[in-house]
C-alpha cells in the first residue's frame, strides 16, 4: 500500500504542478509520520532538477505541515497555511480542507478562525462570494470575542465580500471599521491596512469620487513605504486618481515612478497588467513615447491573457497616434465580447469620438446611444449618492470619536486636579500639629507647585470644554 501510494505521488508530479502539490498534501496523510517524511523527502530529491526552487519550497512546506507534532494546535497549523496562502491561495485552500475534521470538535474561536481563513484564501484566489451569510456571523462573533487584529481582519474581509457583491456603500462601511481598529494600533496588520486604503481607492474611483480616491491612494503609498514594500500598484492608483482630476503633471510623475520600478525589475512576466495600465494612462496623457515603450514591452513579452482592458489600452494608444481604424477595431472587440460593462462604456465613448471627428454621423449616433444606455445601467449618480451617504456617516463617526477622546482627556485632567487638591489638604493637619507643638502662632504652607499644577490642569479643562462644545455644535 505504501509503495503504491509513493509511486502514485511521483506520478502526480507529471501532471500540472498546481494539481499535483495539492493532491500530494492530501495523500501524505495516509502515511505514518516516519513514512511521510521518507516519501516526501524522496520526491523532493528526485524533482530538484526538474522543478523550480519555488516548487521545491512549497513541497518542503507541505512536508513540515504534514509532519507536525500531533499536539500542535489547529491555530498554529492554520497560521502556516495562511502564510502559504499569501503566495499560493489555491494550494492553501486544499490544505485547509484537510483540517476540517480536526476543527469540528474544537472551541468556537478556533472554528470561527477557520471560517475566516477560508474567506481570506478565497478572496486571494479571486473566488467570488455568493452571499454574506458567513461573514455576518463572523463579524458578530469577533466583535464580542476577537482581539484587535481579529476585528481588523474580519471587517476587512467583510468589506471585500460586499465589494465583490457590488454593494459599494456597505463595502465602504466595513473597510472604515477595519481602519478604526488598525490606525494607531501597534497590533494591527500593516499590510492589511495598506490594502484597505487600496480598496477604498478602488471603490471611490468606481463611483467617480476621485478626490477621496486620491486621498486613499496617497495613504496607500504612505503605508507601502512604511512597510518597505516596493510595490508599483500605489503609484498607479495615485496616478489614475490625479488623471481623473485633470492634474496631469502629478499624474505623469506617479506613472513615471511606476514605470521606473517596472524597468528596474527586468522581469516583465509578472508585470504585464501594470504595463497595460501604463499604456492606457500614457495614451490618455498623449505621451506617445512612453506609451510606445509600454506597447513594445507588452508585445515583446506576450502572455496568454489578453483581456478587454488590454483591448481598451491598445485602442487608446492607437487613437493617440492617429491610427483610428486600429483603435475602432479594438473597441468593437470589447463590445462584441459583452462581458465587461465598464470597458464597454469606455469603448462606446471612444467610438463615438472617432466617428464624430470623421464626420460619420450615423455611426456616431449609433455609438452615442450605446454609450448612453451603458451609462444609465451603471447608474453613476445613484452610486455616488449612496457612497456619499456612507462617507458622511463615517465623517460623523470620526467627529463623535474625537469628541469622546476630548471628554476622556478632560476626565484625566479633572482627576489630576483632584489628586493635587488631595495632596494639599493631606498636609494641612500635620502642619497645624507641628506648629502647635512648637508654640508658633501661625502656619506656613508652601504648596505653590501643587497650586500651579491645579491652575494648569484647570486651564486645560476649560479649553477642552470649548472644543467639546464646538464638536457638539458641528454634529
State pLDDT tens for residues 159-199.
999 999 988 889 999 999 999 999 888 889 999 999 999 99
Task: With cut-offs at 50, 70 and 90, classify the pLDDT of residue 407.
Answer: confident
Domain annotation covers residue 406: yes
Cβ burial 5-42 (10 Å sphere, 16+ → b, else e) = ebeebbebbeeebeebbbebbebbeebeeeebbebbee
Domain annotation covers residue 452: yes
C-alpha cell at 114: 477557520
Residue 50: strand, helix, or coil: coil
Domain annotation covers residue 454: yes
Q: Which of 31-35, 44-48, 57-61, 313-317 has the highest mean pLDDT?
A: 313-317
Q: Which of 156, 157, 150 is nearest to 176 (CA)?
A: 156
Domain annotation covers residue 386: yes
Domain annotation covers residue 455: yes
Task: With cut-offs at 50, 70 and 90, classify the pLDDT of residue 472.
Answer: low
Domain annotation covers residue 274: no
> 386 lies in which domain range?
382-474
Q: Could you count the other beta carbons within 10 Å of the beta carbon of residue 228?
A: 6
Burial class (CB in 10 A: 0-12, 13-18, 19+), 176: buried
Tell me which of 133-147, 358-372, 423-437 is least confident.
423-437
- How far is Cα 368 from Cα 469, in angstroms, rounded to an integer? 54
State pLDDT tens for residues 333-360.
999 998 999 899 999 999 999 999 999 9
**Angle formed by the axes of helices 2-12 and 33-47, nearest 10°:** 30
Q: What is the pTM of this model?
A: 0.73
C-alpha cell at 441: 502662632
Question: Cα angle at 326 between 205 and 247, to 5 degrees?
Answer: 30
State pLDDT tens for residues 247-279.
999 999 999 999 999 888 877 777 888 999 999
Q: Could you count the other beta carbons within 10 Å of the beta carbon of residue 70?
A: 6
Domain annotation covers residue 399: yes
Domain annotation covers residue 430: yes
Please state the domain count of the chain.
1
Amino acid at each position: 500500500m505504501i509503495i503504491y501510494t509513493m509511486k502514485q505521488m511521483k506520478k502526480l508530479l507529471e501532471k500540472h504542478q498546481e494539481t499535483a502539490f495539492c493532491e500530494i498534501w492530501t495523500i501524505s496523510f495516509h502515511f505514518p509520520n516516519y513514512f511521510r517524511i521518507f516519501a516526501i523527502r524522496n520526491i523532493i530529491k528526485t524533482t530538484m532538477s526538474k522543478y523550480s526552487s519555488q516548487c521545491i519550497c512549497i513541497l518542503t512546506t507541505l512536508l513540515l505541515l504534514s509532519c507536525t507534532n500531533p499536539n500542535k494546535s489547529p491555530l498554529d497549523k492554520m497560521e502556516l497555511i495562511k502564510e502559504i496562502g499569501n503566495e499560493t491561495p489555491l494550494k492553501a485552500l486544499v490544505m485547509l480542507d484537510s483540517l476540517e475534521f480536526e476543527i469540528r470538535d474544537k472551541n468556537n474561536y478556533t472554528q470561527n478562525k477557520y471560517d475566516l481563513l477560508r474567506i481570506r484564501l478565497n478572496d486571494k484566489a479571486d473566488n467570488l462570494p455568493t452571499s454574506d451569510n458567513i461573514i455576518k456571523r463572523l463579524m458578530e462573533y469577533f466583535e464580542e470575542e476577537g482581539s484587535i487584529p481579529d476585528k481588523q481582519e474580519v471587517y476587512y474581509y467583510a468589506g471585500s465580500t460586499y465589494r465583490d457583491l457590488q454593494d459599494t456603500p456597505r463595502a465602504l462601511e466595513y473597510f472604515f471599521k477595519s481602519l478604526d481598529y488598525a490606525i494607531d494600533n501597534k497590533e494591527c496588520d500593516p499590510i492589511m491596512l495598506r490594502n484597505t486604503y487600496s480598496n477604498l481607492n478602488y471603490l471611490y474611483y468606481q463611483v467617480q469620487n476621485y478626490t477621496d480616491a486620491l486621498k486613499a491612494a496617497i495613504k496607500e503609498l504612505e503605508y507601502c513605504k512604511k512597510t518597505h514594500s516596493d510595490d508599483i500598484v500605489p503609484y498607479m492608483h495615485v496616478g489614475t486618481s490625479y488623471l481623473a482630476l485633470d492634474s496631469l503633471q502629478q499624474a505623469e510623475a506617479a506613472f513615471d515612478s511606476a514605470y521606473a520600478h517596472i524597468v528596474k525589475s527586468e522581469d516583465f512576466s509578472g508585470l504585464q497588467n501594470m504595463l497595460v495600465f501604463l499604456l492606457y494612462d500614457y495614451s490618455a496623457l498623449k505621451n506617445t513615447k512612453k506609451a510606445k515603450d509600454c506597447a513594445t514591452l507588452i508585445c515583446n513579452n506576450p502572455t496568454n491573457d489578453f483581456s478587454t482592458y488590454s483591448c481598451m489600452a491598445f485602442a487608446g494608444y492607437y487613437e493617440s497616434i492617429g491610427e483610428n481604424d486600429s483603435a475602432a477595431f479594438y473597441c468593437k472587440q470589447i463590445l462584441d465580447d459583452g462581458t465587461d460593462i465598464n470597458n464597454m462604456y469606455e469603448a462606446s465613448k471612444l467610438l463615438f469620438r472617432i466617428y464624430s471627428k470623421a464626420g460619420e454621423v450615423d455611426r456616431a449616433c449609433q455609438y452615442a446611444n450605446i454609450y448612453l444606455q451603458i451609462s444609465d445601467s451603471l447608474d453613476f449618480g445613484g452610486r455616488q449618492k449612496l457612497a456619499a451617504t456612507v462617507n458622511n456617516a463615517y465623517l460623523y463617526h470620526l467627529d463623535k470619536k474625537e469628541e469622546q477622546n476630548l471628554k476622556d482627556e478632560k476626565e484625566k485632567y479633572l482627576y489630576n486636579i483632584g489628586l493635587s487638591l488631595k495632596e494639599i489638604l493631606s498636609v494641612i493637619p500635620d502642619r497645624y500639629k507641628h506648629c502647635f507643638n512648637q508654640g508658633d502662632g501661625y502656619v506656613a504652607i508652601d504648596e505653590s507647585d501643587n497650586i500651579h499644577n491645579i491652575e494648569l490642569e484647570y486651564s486645560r479643562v476649560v479649553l477642552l470644554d470649548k472644543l467639546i462644545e464646538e464638536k457638539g455644535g458641528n454634529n
